[in-house]
Amino acid sequence: MKVLLTGFDPFGGESINPAYQAVKQLPDTIAQAQVIKLELPTSFAGSAQKLEQAMQQHQPDLVICVGQAGGRACITVEKVAINLAEARIPDNDGKQPVDEPICTDGPTAYFSNLPIKAMVQQMQQAGIPAAVSYTAGTYVCNSIFYHLMYTIEKEYPTVRGGFIHVPYESGQVIGKAANTPFMSEAMMVQGLQEAITAALCCKQESKTAMGETH
């Protein structure tokens, strides 16, 4: 088994992005699966292109993209990617789409086909706050998640894919408003490892996962 993990580079004036910081600290083998780590640009166009290339090159069985959701307190596993790009700030290429579909020939949305509840439960059992989320926003995180599921549907129907959001890392909130939630990098790394293990091992599929409502 082969797992492709991606994390974004910094954006929005932050000097780090804990998503890739955490991804790159994960071991090279999780639950006997080989782990490939990839940094993606925070760019609507660039991230999609680089993800597709990596999927073609590595032919992974499982793809999980990781991004940052500043303001959330716990690790969230996303249920749904929507066919909408709407940016309040420009991406790292200076592009700021407003009310644009991501793929003009794609459906309105995809559900992740990962066992997202099992992933959340396994993180919680390891003592790591986690939850299912029903919106990945409308920025590059949602866009790469949508692209991933679109690519899976069109070209790699046996691949499983999904998206995980991590909170601000502790260092990022120093200087922000005092009540801004955060998570230590060590806990993010541990949480991702638990989630990936659950995604690899869990056979209990969601009744509403990707393929079943089409």
* Catalytic residue positions, numbered: 78, 141, 165
Residue among 119, 135, 137, 93 at smallest CA distance from 194: 119
Using the rule CB under 8 A, is 179 a contact of a copy of itself? yes
Residue 3 or 192 having the CB closest to a copy of itself: 192
Tokens of 165: 């959001």
Residue 91: CA atoms inside 13 Å, Cβ hemisphere, count?
Answer: 25
Residue 8 or 150 having the CB closest to a copy of itself: 150
87-126 footprint of a copy of itself as x/- string (CB under 8 A): ------------xxx--x-xxxxxx-----x------x--
Using the rule CB under 8 A, is 181 a contact of a copy of itself? yes
Alpha-carbon distances, residue 201 vs 28, 32, 75, 213 (angstroms): 17, 10, 19, 24
Sole residue written with tokens 């986690």: 130
Tokens of 141: 């995180």
Task: Tell me the C-alpha distance between 81 and 208, whole Å.
Answer: 14
Judged by the rule CB under 8 A, the positions of this chain that interact with a copy of itself are 72-74, 76, 79-80, 82-84, 99-101, 104, 106-111, 117, 124, 127-129, 131, 134-135, 137-138, 170-171, 173-174, 178-182, 184, 186-187, 206-208, 210, 212-214
